[in-house]
Structure 1
Amino acid sequence: MSGGGGTLKAPAFTLAEGATHVVMLNSQRRFGFTLAEVLVTLGIIGVVSAMTVPSLIQNYQRQSYVTQLHKFYNELSQALVRYQNDRNAVNLTEAGLSSNAALKTFMNNYFKVVQSCDTASSPCFAASYRRLDGVGMGELNSAESYVIASGAAIRPLYSKDNQKIVNFLVDINGQKGPNIWGRDIFVIGAYNNGLLDSWAEDVVSAPLTKEEREAAPDTWKAFADILNDNWEMTY
């Protein structure tokens, strides 16, 4: 509307009937955290980490040990099959695996041996080992031992008991730690039919039943438990 030579502009808005004033809305929003909130959050994260990280590390270590053990198990199993097939035999005894001298030939011909220890287990194996409860086990029995390309230390020993013919003592990572029985060192039995398994009193042949594995003596029990638990280290 015009008047008096000037222009009167229309109001930008109109008050509602009965309104006496305008309230301005606060358009600012709060995006940050207070120091107290940050400290509480960090504290919660720290507690959760302290509870879960050690467990995750332990589970990873267990799985790493089992993976290495399974790798050696497969390598040994395949070597025994080749040994038997190369001699057109129906079992390992018929193939000639019937003495420690034959085991020496087997190791040198079917594995890439990078180190041999003629009579003492060290330096192929660690100087000493412990049980899971921390009790020391002392030195291993003296016998010819080998380190293969994977880094595993192996001590094969001809030890016939029914259809079990060889005890393979294996430290899956050689002299490296933890050097604990049932973590990185195990005993595996080779049976005349070529199967690998644990051992217990009165066992005739492989594969062992779940109950036979549960009856395995201490030095054989770890491998027995891993087989029973489908290649998992649950202890």
Structure 2
Amino acid sequence: MTVPSLMQNHQRKTYVVQLHKVYNEFSQALLQYQTDKNAVNLTEAGLSSQGNFDAFVSDYFKTIQKCDNSLTPCFSDDYKTLNGGGVNFHNGTSYVLANGSSIRFILNVEGDKIGQVGIDINGKQGPNILGRDLFFIAVYKDGALDDFNGGTAPLTEELRNNVYNSDCQGSGNVSGWGCFGKILNDNWEMTY
């Protein structure tokens, strides 16, 4: 192996470790929220409005910055795909967490999905590329965090791969789905 490929492999592992930490922190907070509300799912617990999600973040995370109805300055203002295209990234109240990551939740009920979280694992720092430091994760009523394709969680390996090929590896402007599912399929490794 050459030095550049070793450095690239190390950087990919670093991204995945950071993503896994944010994923675990978010998953544990959702479980604690549901437990504290003595509810059978997140919707029953009250995570059914944008305002309730904002309160959830304030109560269950250490935040260092809040960007009301805006991505910036919590997120970078320019993200690209792995192929150089654009990322469809909608405005919403965003936060910078004490761990340095940025999150933005958009309430978007579709089947068992109650919304999605955009996560930049290292905040505004580069490379600001979907699938490297920016990921979109669907939040389901039962507290599951997975990719999204219109169905219920957990997605099958085949569905995750289909979304990865069409969106994460897609050209032009993409929705952002697929990169997280590919990492789940590959046992928390960035193989792309």
| TM-score where L is the length of structure 2 | 0.92
Q: Give the AA of the match of 2:134.
A: I
Give the Cα separation in 1 of the matches to 2:52 and 2:103: 15
Equivalent position SS for 1:114: strand
1:178 corresponds, among 112, 124, 127, to 127
1:215 CA displacement: 2.4
1:88 aligned onto 2:75: no
Give the Cα separation in 1 of the matches to 2:73 and 2:154: 33
Partner of 2:182: 225
Q: Give the AA of the match of 1:144.
A: T
CA RMSD of superposed structures (Å) = 1.2
2:13 corresponds, among 49, 60, 63, to 63
Greater Cα radius of gyration, structure 1 or 2: 1
Partner of 1:122: 72
Q: Over residues 69-103 of structure 1, what are the superposed CA-to-partner deviations in whole Å (9 max), with x where a residue is unaligned?
A: 00000000000000000010000000000010110
Structure 1, unpaired ranges of 5+ = 1-50
Equivalent position SS for 1:119: coil
Give the Cα separation in 1 of the matches to 2:153 and 2:91: 27
Equivalent position SS for 2:119: strand
Structure 2, unpaired ranges of 5+ = 168-175
Give the Cα separation in 1 of the matches to 2:187 and 2:7: 21
Equivalent position SS for 2:137: strand
Partner of 1:165: 114
Give the Cα separation in 2 of the matches to 1:102 and 1:120: 17
Q: Over residues 184-222 of structure 1, what are the superposed CA-to-partner deviations in whole Å (9 max), with x where a residue is unaligned?
A: 000001111111100013x1x211111121222511111
1:136 CA displacement: 4.1
| TM-score where L is the length of structure 1 | 0.75
1:137 CA displacement: 3.9
RCO comparison, higher one (Cα < 8 Å, 6+): 2
Q: Over residues 111-156 of structure 1, what are the superposed CA-to-partner deviations in whole Å (9 max), with x where a residue is unaligned?
A: 0010000022010000111111123448x32210000000000001
Give the Cα separation in 2 of the matches to 1:119 and 1:95: 24
Q: Give the AA of the match of 1:84.
A: Q
Partner of 1:207: 154
